[in-house]
């Protein structure tokens, strides 16, 4: 069974602070994919990143960076110099190998990030 844990329910920071959102996962599969999504108040899910289990390289995209560590089953997300527009709920998610079709995405409970002026 797959499981994704986001222990931080809500985080509040002041603009320009760095913030890290934690994600810990459980799976028995050797091939799996990890995702991060942003959900602003409008409700739509905004895709941020997809990472497969064989690629442990950290990734940076602008102010966003991700740290994938298989040894601790974690896939943490850091926002550098946070902005008010970053305020949203962020979901970490896990799937088995979907390239053959059919496998569902398991979501964590989400972290509400509030960035204040």
Contact residues toward other proteins (CB under 8 A) are 33, 35, 37, 42-45, 47, 50, 91, 95, 98-110, 112
Output the smallest distance, CB 34 to other proteins, in A: 11
* Closer residue to other proteins, CB minimum distance, 18 or 59: 59
Among candidates 34, 55, 28, which has minimal Cα distance to 106? Answer: 34
* Closer residue to other proteins, CB minimum distance, 15 or 114: 114
Output the smallest distance, CB 57 to other proteins, in A: 18
* Closer residue to other proteins, CB minimum distance, 8 or 80: 8
Output the smallest distance, CB 3 to other proteins, in A: 12
* Closer residue to other proteins, CB minimum distance, 5 or 80: 5
The string of DSSP codes covering the chain is: --EEE---SEEEEETT--EEE--EEE-S-SSEEEEEEEE-TT---EEEEEEETT----EEETTEEEEEEGGGTEEEEEESS--GGG-EEEEEEEEE--TTS-PPEEE---EEEEEE-
Output the smallest distance, CB 90 to other proteins, in A: 11
């Amino acid at each position: 069974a797959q499981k994704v844990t986001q222990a931080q329910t809500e985080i509040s920071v002041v603009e320009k602070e760095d913030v890290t959102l934690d994600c810990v996962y459980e799976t028995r599969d050797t091939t799996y994919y990890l995702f991060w999504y942003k959900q602003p108040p409008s409700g739509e899910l905004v895709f941020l990143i997809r990472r497969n289990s064989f690629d442990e390289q950290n990734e940076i995209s602008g102010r966003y960076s991700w740290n994938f560590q298989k040894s601790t089953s974690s896939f943490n997300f850091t926002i550098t110099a946070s902005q008010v527009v970053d305020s949203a709920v962020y979901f970490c998610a896990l799937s088995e190998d979907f390239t053959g079709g059919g496998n569902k995405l398991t979501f964590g409970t989400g972290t509400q990030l509030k960035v204040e002026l």
